Structure 1
């Protein structure tokens, strides 16, 4: 058995308030949510999905998601401001395919979300 190169299909996050989280993630990603037959809210981004499920959130700091964006770090900072999201400073990261810079914010349940973009000198490795 081999796992496909684009093996990550979806991630499911338990959230305390499904409607509030749906609005937050929709604003963050710019993607319209859909609801599946199990009641989960899905945001399809490329070939992957982030799914939200009503439930008890994981303990703070236990889950971190990195979203690569086709935007400048200044645009990512602006998006964090639009969400009124508490965030730290821009920091370098080692993404899966190239160097990146990221800004870490927290969703309504405290999940850490890195908004990242490839560094000007870096480019994704195919």
Structure 2
């Protein structure tokens, strides 16, 4: 019944810091839509952004900053990801470490975004299975 994830919604307390991380550090593209809404686009997905206290309805039952634990698959090597993080500089909490992703084994680093959401950035250790 479900084919893929289209978007998720992230709640932030500081829109500019949030944009700086997802656009400048992670390289996502800024998208504006609707009545001044903001999203970060990557691949065929996006992250819609709500500013705490100004959420779009309907919203999550308890939309709070720092409640997400996200895992992204990088479009480059994990070494290049680490170089980019170090170049901004953005602290790596853990990694590289081996984990299990949705389609097989991955190697990951962990960081926190400005709202303290946990962000895992990974590469596949073998070609993903369908």
TM-score tier (shorter): 0.7 to 0.9
**Which deviates further from its counterpart, 71-80 or 81-90?**
81-90
The yes-or-no answer on 1:104 pairing with 2:114 is no
In structure 2, what is the equivalent of residue 63 of structure 1?
68
Distance 1:125-1:30 versus aligned 2 partners, 3 A rule: same
In structure 2, what is the equivalent of residue 91 of structure 1?
97
| Superposition TM-score, scaled by structure 1 size | 0.84
Identify unmatched segments of 5+ residues in structure 2.
54-62
Identify unmatched segments of 5+ residues in structure 1.
none
What is the CA distance between 1:29 and its match in structure 2?
3.1
The correspondence of residues 1-126 of structure 1 with structure 2, limited to 5 A, is 2-3=1-2, 5-6=3-4, 8-55=5-52, 58=64, 60=66, 62-87=67-92, 88-119=94-125, 122-126=126-130
For each residue in 1:71-105, what CA deviation from the matched residue of structure 2 results, as whole angstroms up to 9, or x when unmatched?
Answer: 22211111221332221221111111121000000
For each residue in 1:50-91, what CA deviation from the matched residue of structure 2 results, as whole angstroms up to 9, or x when unmatched?
Answer: 12211167364x321111012222111112213322212211
Distance 1:44-1:59 versus aligned 2 partners, 3 A rule: closer
Query: 2: distance between equivalents of 1:15 and 1:49?
Result: 15
Indicate the RMSD between aligned Cα atoms, in angstroms. Answer: 1.8
